[in-house]
Amino acid sequence: MFTRKQRHILIKFFSLFSVVRGYNILVIVIAQYLTSVYIFAHNIPVKKVLLDLNLLMLVLASAAVVAAGYIINNFYDSEKDLINRPNKSLLDKLVSQNTKLSFYFVLNFSAIVMASYVSFNPVLFFSAYIFAIWFYSHKLKKLPIVGNIVSALLTIAPFFAIFIYYKNFDTVIFVHASFLFLIISIRELAKDLENMKGDLALNYRTIPVVYGEVTSKKMITFLMILTLLPLYLLITKFEIGYMTYYFYGAIILLIIFLSLLWKSTTKTHYIILHNILKVIIVAGVFSILLIDVDLVLKRIL
């Protein structure tokens, strides 16, 4: 049995884990390593990629900055989250704001130290990334359209750090990135629909609040049409192995998503839509393993 002190520490840990969304951080770390092995450094032996200390520092720095970003976002959105996510907010509040802010500065400082191990350029990149996340959380998040675009760009920024490190400019990378950017942009709009109650109460000028639900749904539909271009290119023009099946599955899920979107009217409906997009994103991370299974097995052996 746990003592009272041990239970208190455990509860605090889960509270902090909830604030930094540890499960998202884990997915980002896995995604960065998989993209490094299969896409960015596909000509380098797997063992060399996995044991690359510079890559490890970049991945850890990315994880630290993203975790810090969740903390500062939680700090500015605490009132809104109390309306939109009351249960999660109660868990998050078990850690004081002072503790969260202290951890925020520690994480960002650690990221800069780890980036400095690689070179000065990553230090500049992560410094700009830290500032961009803070500026988004403090100012841009409440602006329609601009906030959505910046949020999507900040989400894919950790992969840009790896992209710069390997200096791989293959066209397929940009096509993958455009698909991911569009899916994340759709997710941001779906989140705005889901969180409309809190946004209205606290005067967040999101697209559903300013322009209405119908306009938001039209914009989502337009973005989904745009995703057909990278999907078509990835399936027909590039060698992506068995990952083709993932993109066929993504098309099916997007069709289901679109059919449900125009029937959705409640928060529960929008949560379901948001979860469909989460499945597409997380499945996309692990489907990278399907790009060239035989070749990677040879590289390992």
Alpha-carbon separation of residue 41 from 52, 171, 299 (angstroms): 11, 14, 12
What's the Rg (C-alpha) of the chain? 20
Q: Which of 176, 155, 163, 130 has its CA nearest to residue 278? A: 155
Tell me which residue of 193, 182, 192 sits closest to 152, measured CA to CA: 182
What are the 10-residue block averages of pLDDT along the chain, 301 residues in total? 65 73 89 90 83 95 93 80 70 75 92 94 95 91 87 91 85 90 94 84 82 92 95 91 92 95 90 94 90 58 50
CA–CA dist 55, 256 (Å, integer)? 38
Extract the tokens encoding 90: 């109660």
pTM of the model: 0.88
Q: Which residue has the tokens 């959705």?
A: 264
Structure token digits, residue 163: 């992209």
CA angle, corner 228, sides to 295 and 259, nearest 5?
120
Collapsing DSSP to helix, strand or coil, 169 comes out as coil
pLDDT of residue 298: 56
The reported pLDDT for the residue numbered 290 is 84
Q: Tell me, what DSSP letter sits at residue 201?
A: H
Residue 78 carries which side chain, given as an amino acid letter? S
> CB neighbours (10 Å) of residue 51?
10
Residue-level pLDDT at 62: 95
